[in-house]
Amino acid sequence: MKPNRVSSQFLEVVLKRRIKALYQEQLNHEPKDIKIYYFDQTIIVIIDGIVTQTEKFLNQHSQKFLAQQVSSVLSHLMESQLKSLIEEVMKVTVIDLLCKAKFETDRMGAIAIFEVHPNFYV
């Protein structure tokens, strides 16, 4: 093992913990599950259980359109924070972040493309 490299499993644990903490701190909500996949200069993050109690409440009281709007705004706000978090944990520059959150499936997917290959081993 080289001294300046960490394992992808370690980074995955740290990233999952930090994403959960981000949702807890910013939205008072904890996602159900987070999956992370690595590919060369790319990471894919899938977050299940992103719909907050407020969004669920609006939806249950015939305010689906408003719930979807709130969901869209919250997802957009979390996007830049997710990018910063990935950059901090992975110690890379994210040159592209593609995110899509879907209220109906209670899921968010993000693809982060790095400027250079991250310094970790599988």
Across the range 85-93, mean pLDDT stands at 91
| Topology of the domain covering 6-114 | Threonyl-tRNA Synthetase; Chain A, domain 2 (3.30.980)
43 forms beta bridges with 38, 112
CB 75 within 8 A of CB 91: no
pLDDT the model gives residue 121: 54
Mean pLDDT in residue range 10-25: 93
* The pair of three-digit structure tokens given for residue 86, joined into one six-digit string: 């990935």
Q: What percent of the chain has pLDDT over 70?
A: 90
The residue type at 53: Q
Whats the size of the chain, residue-wise? 122
pLDDT in tens, 72-83: 999 889 999 999
Return the minimum-mean-pLDDT range out of 2-6, 15-19, 57-61, 109-113.
2-6
Structure letter (DSSP) for residue 61: T
Sketch the domain layout of the chain as residue ranges.
6-114
* pLDDT at residue 48 greater than cutoff 50: yes
Which three-class secondary structure state does DSSP give residue 88? helix
Nearest-CA neighbor of 99 among 116, 75, 115, 68? 75
pTM across the whole model: 0.85
pLDDT value of residue 4: 59
In whole angstroms, what is the distance from residue 14 CA to residue 16 CA? 6
